[in-house]
Copies of this chain bind each other. A is one copy, B any other.
Amino acid sequence: MSDELMTIRQMCDAFGVTPRTLRFYEARELIFPQRRGQHRLYDRRDRARLTLILRGKRFGFSLEQIRQLLELYEPGSRNETQIAATITIARERLADMERQYAELREAIADLAEQINDAETRLSDATHSKRSG
């Protein structure tokens, strides 16, 4: 079984994206599949990165922000200055996410309350109809 390398189609089926999307992410330097001849082949590392990309997107990060964060996940040989810069950026993103987390909690409570109110209104309307 091809546990190691996957074709673009296998990737698309596995992650629910289109070939266009994978090539686009590659053009933006978010993933770096190898080539067999002209064809792309995606390994575990590419899959891990894609998972992170899609997660980042769900939180509203831009592809460029995600690209910067992905550097953090690469134990790659980069110099101290670059690592420090990446950490700085990551801390900012983390702060963003923590703010979003807190605000989301409020928003959820708020929306739940509004739904409750609306359900009450709906219920009242139904009853008044019955008694009218």
Question: Interface of A with B (CB < 8 Å)?
Answer: 55, 58-60, 69, 72-73, 75, 80, 83-84, 86-87, 90-91, 93-94, 97-98, 100-101, 103-105, 107-108, 111-112, 114-115, 118-119, 121-122, 125-126, 129
Contacts and interface: CB of A to CB of B under 8 A. Distances in A.
**Closest 4 pairs (CB-CB, A-B):** A60-B60, A83-B122, A101-B104, A72-B114
A111 B83 contact: no
Contacts of A80: 122, 125-126, 129
A80 to B, nearest CB: 5
Given A80-B125, A107-B55, A118 B90 contact: yes
A129 B104 CA distance: 44
